[in-house]
Amino acid sequence: MQYGMKNLFMILFASLLIMGGSAGFGQPSQGGWIQLFNGKDLTGWKHVGKGDMVVEEGMIHGKGGMGLLYWTGGKFGNCVIRVEFRMRDKNSNSGVFIRIPVEPFEEWMPVNYGYEVQIDNMPELSNEDEYHYTGTLYSLTKPLAKTGKPGPEWNVMEITLQGKHTVVVLNGTKVTDFTEGDAVPERKFDFEPTRGPRPEKGFIGLQNHGESDVVYFRKVEVKMLPAGK
């Protein structure tokens, strides 16, 4: 069943209001941004896999891993997802997952069936190349620029989903511009995602990479876009 943009927005808005309750949570700002993180707890989110995600001092961060914290309120397509994050150490590893086709039930399912927008400014420390740099689609795209800030500086990542097109802007500079069907390199490691198309709409999530890789998230918000824009 197809919904118009107005109906889709109203459904999302209503579900956020039900799950929310804090001032501003689930309510679009003047710019159209809807907060998915209320700054207090993980209302509307669910964790799968090892470890856990917690909220401390108004920030989400992982404990243990590898796991994934995903938004349970529904799939996103034709939207901008904006995330503010910082690394605990000079460099830490995490990711923002998009286009997950169904609710994830374990930690590797999103890796192989969605896309990970990587967070890692020094992939060479793990014997990985620049296709694994912050803002890339992990192991699939080469960065157009390297604008990731080391910890404890804050970064702003904007991920635009428009049909089969994905654009990632990191700290004001475009890092990824990818359309389904673009050429991608072959897998180099068994922990890289399987190749293949991803859906136009999907669930989103924040990766809990491991005990030694802690990334803090203080804002996760989304703005719906009309089809074809």
For residue 160, the cross-strand partners are 80, 167
Q: What is the pLDDT of residue 211?
A: 87
DSSP letter string over 35-60? ES--SSS-TTEEEEESSEEEEETTEE
Sign of CA dihedral 174, 178, 183, 186: positive
For residue 87, is the peptide bond before it cis, meaning its omega torsion is within 30 degrees of 0? no
Which residues of the chain are under the pLDDT cut of 50? 1-11, 13-23
Q: What is the pLDDT of residue 36?
A: 98
pTM for the full model? 0.88
Q: CA 177, CA 90: separation in Å to the nearest integer?
A: 27
Tokens of 123: 């992939």
> For the domain that residue 162 is a member of, what is the CATH number?
2.60.120.560
User: Which one-letter amino acid corresponds to residue 194?
Assistant: T
Tokens of 143: 């960065």
Q: What is the pLDDT of residue 25?
A: 60
Report the domain count for the chain.
Answer: 1
Q: What is the pLDDT of residue 22?
A: 37
Q: What is the pLDDT of residue 227?
A: 82
Establish if 10 belongs to a structural domain. Answer: yes
Question: Which structural domain, as residue segments, surrounds residue 89?
Answer: 5-224
Establish if 50 belongs to a structural domain. Answer: yes
Q: What is the pLDDT of residue 5?
A: 46
Q: Tens digits of per-residue pLDDT, 95-119?
A: 999 999 999 999 999 999 999 999 9
Establish if 229 belongs to a structural domain. Answer: no
Tokens of 57: 């001092």
